[in-house]
Amino acid sequence: MLLSFGSSISILSNSLAVEGMNQDMNNQDSSQIYEKFYKDDSFREAYYNYHKQHHQQEQQNQESRYNDNYDNNEKASYNYNNNNNDKSKDNVSVKKINCNNINVNVNGLELNVFPPFLNGGEGSAAEAQEDSTDTSSFAGNGVDGPEINEFRFICLNNNNNTVIGGEELPIPPEPSEPTTATLTVNKEVFGCDNSIVGNNMDCQQMTNTDTAWLPCINSVISNYLACLGLPPSLFDIEVLDNQGNQLQQFEGSTQGTTIENLQPGTYTVNEIKYPSNINQLGESLNDETTCGVLGFDDGGTLENTNAAFNYIICIEYEDEQGNDCKTLTLAAGEEKTCTVKNYIRQASQLMA
């Protein structure tokens, strides 16, 4: 640090006064002091010694002030008086904290002897640790004399996770093989885009494989009165076992009816024909024969008095692969779908 000329002369004067040198310094002017500092070696050495001592003294004073403040704060914090003998009656002195925290993981290993602290239990472990003087114990304030305020922290983590090698985990049982079958039967109605006089529909020349057949749902003929007058629910369907016993009867539907828990075997899907054809499928030997000639499985007639239509209908049974499913065989665990298809061979509107 550089000082002004006046400051330098002042410091020189102070240094000489402290050392007892040149007591008449105050009587000399600044130029004389400045000349003596640079020409007199003893004068200059006294100046340096003064500043060295002054610096050391300042450092000691600062350390003393810091220690006094620290001691006062410590005493206030822990409620000590000046004699360090009395303690606050509200203080609680904790001598020792024990915890037991032992981790032993034996995975896939065969051990003939466990570690001693496991054989003795948690108490033995704590006692063994308590007698030791390792780094797990922490002493207190280090005061010499008969009264030592000792604090000890002893911690053992006791977690014994043992998997003994040789013990085999139980093998879950394999899922049992299914013993029953499932059959779903749904219904579809078809017509053709061939309208004759009025709202009549004529598909009499079409065989079962003709590509001109259109579904009555979601096609160009969906709004034809002949299709609207023949909903799937007008037809009744039954499922028979191999002895001809009826297992279930239900109305036809597009979404289908599912029969579960069927024993493996042979079953028959049959669209029921009644003696009367009023609002239901009726028997007709002539139509059965004609439909058979055209490649269909069966045929019949139906008169819907609500829609005022008379129908000649051919019948087909078909599974997902396009095979005939009027008679089908079900194996254990098998699920099959059979679709009963009705084809409007002819639809004639009834006269009022």
Closest to 226 in 3D by CA, of 349, 132, 329: 349
Contact call for residues 228 and 249 (beta carbons, < 8 A): no
Pairing of strands 181-191, 335-349: parallel
Q: Which of 127-136, 209-218, 316-325 has the lowest mean pLDDT?
A: 127-136
User: In this prediction, what percent of the chain has a pLDDT beyond 70?
Assistant: 57
Averaged pLDDT for residues 215-238: 95
Taking only the tens place, the pLDDT of each residue in 1-16 is 444 444 444 444 444 4
Residue 100 confidence (pLDDT) above 50: yes
Question: End of a domain among 118, 133, 164?
Answer: 164
Residue 81 belongs to a domain: no
Identify the domain containing residue 20 by its residue range: 1-56
Which pLDDT band, with edges at 50, 70 and 90, does 304 fall under?
Answer: very high
Contacts of 148 (CB under 8 A, 6+ apart): 140, 141
Residue 244 zone, left/alpha/beta (φ > 0; ψ -120 to 50; rest): left
pLDDT of residue 166: 58
> Cα(269)–Cα(298) distance, rounded to whole angstroms?
12
Question: Which residues are CB-neighbours of 139 under 8 A, at least 6 positions away?
Answer: 150, 151, 152
Are 196 and 158 members of one domain?
no
In our burial notation (b when 16+ CB lie closer than 10 A, e otherwise), range 88-102 reads eeeeeeeeeeeebeb
For residue 266 the two structure tokens come to: 């042979």
Residue 80 has pLDDT above 80, yes or no: no
Q: From CA 232, how far away is CA 237, in angstroms rounded? A: 10
Q: For residues 296 and 190, state if they share a domain.
A: yes
Contact 346, 191 (CB under 8 A): no
154 closest CA partner among 169, 168, 134: 134
Give the pLDDT score at 342: 98
Contact at 8 Å (CB) between 54 and 48? no
Q: Which among 164, 194, 215 is the end of a domain?
A: 164
Whether residue 9 is contained in a domain is answered as yes
Q: Is the pLDDT higher at 116 or at 41?
A: 41
155 plus 188 within the same structural domain: no
Residue 32 has pLDDT above 80, yes or no: no
More confident residue, 94 or 324: 324
pLDDT in tens, 307-351: 999 999 999 999 999 999 999 999 999 999 999 999 999 999 988
The pLDDT, as a whole number, for residue 268 is 97
User: Which residues have a Cβ under 8 Å from the Cβ of 171 and sit 6 or more positions away?
Assistant: none
**Do both 190 and 291 map to the same domain?**
yes
Number of domains observed in the structure of the chain: 3
Residue 243 lies in a domain: yes
pLDDT at 55: 67
**Residue 37 to residue 300: CA distance in whole angstroms:** 142
Averaged pLDDT of the chain: 75
Lowest mean pLDDT among 99-108, 197-206, 283-292: 99-108
DSSP state of 289: H
Same structural domain, 209 and 344 = yes
Q: What is the pLDDT of residue 162?
A: 55
Q: Which residue has the higher pLDDT, 135 or 231?
A: 231
> Any idea what DSSP says for residue 278?
B
If asked whether residues 261 and 331 sit together in one domain, one would say yes
CA distance 219 to 308: 22
Has residue 182 got a pLDDT over 50?
yes
Is residue 62 situated within a structural domain? no
88 lies in a domain?
Answer: no
